[in-house]
Amino acid sequence: MPTHLVSVLRQTPDHTRVYRLIDTLFRPHPQLDGCYTSLEEALQDAVAWLEGLGSDGGSCSIGLEVSTPSGDWRTIRKPDLLLCPLRA
């Protein structure tokens, strides 16, 4: 886990959840390697990235993890295809 994230998690008395996107090997996603303050923000970023890939985006698997109070990560969505609506 990045050192700056560990310090942020330990500084808050009430744990603030942080989300990150993961790849098919359950590692931080190479192109979407950021920390998100909400589940919606993480998914919006993933959808925008997939839409930018065009037809290749349909074959990318993305998962989601959330930080725990102990500084670990818990998988809340296993890497799989992220279905999103097609734009008209």
In a domain, 87, yes or no: no
What per-residue confidence (pLDDT) applies to 30? 92
Query: Token pair of 62, please?
Result: 């993305």
In a domain, 42, yes or no: yes
Contacting residues for 18 by C-beta, under 8 A, at least 6 apart: 5, 8, 9, 35, 36, 37, 66, 67
Report the alpha-carbon distance of residue 74 to residue 65 in Å, rounded: 5
Residue 7's pLDDT band (cuts 50, 70, 90): very low
Number of domains comprising the chain: 1
pLDDT digits (tens, 9 = 90+) for 28-74: 999 998 999 999 999 999 988 988 887 666 678 899 999 999 999 99
In a domain, 88, yes or no: no
Domain around 66: 3-81
